[in-house]
Structure 1
Amino acid sequence: MTMKASLKGKYDADKTTGVGSFAVNAGDLKLRATMTDATLVAGPTLNGLSLAVEKPGSFIVEYNVPKKDVRFQFMNTVKIAEKSLNLTYIHSRGDNRTIVDGSLLIDSSNKLSANYMVGTNNCKLKYSYAHGGIATFEPCYDLAKNTWDFAVSRRVYGDLVKATYQTSSKLLGMEWSRNSKSSGFKVCASVNLAEEVKTPKLTAETTWNLEM
């Protein structure tokens, strides 16, 4: 039996938060408990606590304890003209929201994906092009807002540097991240170009992983 624990801390100018998880592999299933700093700071309490049962690549059932809400996620892969189409179905019982997500792997460099919230006009279409396994270009079209978002990422000595731009909000972002088996970090900076005073917003995340 394999047990894994992880702890993530997020820091910004307004507040500092933390999320911890503990997972146990039980055959084909993975049992996971996740809690936030709200679970322990005033507690211990049930705030921020969720429990999940997962079969990797097949399904996830997650129960939010304080909200008494169940979230179902089902994954499947089908072949279309010898191309892999990955499908994900997500349903949250509490707010009665259903999301369907699909991605079609055209080849090793090109991928098309779509995300749709059932019963609404919220739908996003994204095209991803990986150049030489080093750089990735991702334009995304939001049908509800009739706007485009753009992302460009590149590997630099094992680290990932990513730039994003949201045309609807004129939000420009930069991200630098590094991940390994035992730890990882992410530093983000964003600025709203529509504001008269363009003050950058900085956030940082650190993750520690432990396998037992």
Structure 2
Amino acid sequence: MQVAVLFARADSIYKSMTGCDVWDIDRDARTWNGGAPVVAHPPCRAWGRMRQFAKPRDDEKALALLAVAHVRRFGGVLEHPAHSSLWRVAALPLPGEFPDGHGGWTLAIEQFHFGHRAEKATWLYIVGCPPDALPPVPTRPGRPTHCIRASKRYPRLPTVTKAERERTPPALARWLHLVALRCRKDEGGNG
């Protein structure tokens, strides 16, 4: 089965993975016709904690709402920074809350456990795969060697590059692909 990877970077790790139909900016995920579970990585700069400093393209914010609609209709997983304002605007359940009317729920992860050099707190909105059917979530010993941005928690760690902030660690990409493969929805939105 193919998984549609929507809003991937042009140099995405998914392009080297079997079973991934990758839609980057050149392929334009807005033209995807559906029919498969998705892994969605919509741009986050218009939704994140630092959004007041972001300069997104005019149409960029709408891409996340389109990604939510595709995940709800076809099943899959959407990845965004923890505390993204997308959760409030799209009425997505917060981590630990009951599933929404689409059967979607939110898992909080740290990308460090998937090989990222920074902690990178992330929320995953999942539709079509209950928590007990997820592949095991890895845990990695140690502490991050870098941070996304300097903070009181990490005042002296070096920050990662913009590209590294945006890239999905290979282990996380493989795990998200497995999650999407376990998501079952029909085109009418029923699990």
Normalised to the residue count of structure 2, the TM-score between the two structures is 0.31
Per chain length, whose mean CA-contact separation is higher, i.e. which structure has more relative contact order (CA < 8 Å, sep 6+)? 2
Q: 1 or 2, which has the higher helix percentage? A: 2
Normalised to the residue count of structure 1, the TM-score between the two structures is 0.29
Q: 1 or 2, which has the higher strand percentage? A: 1
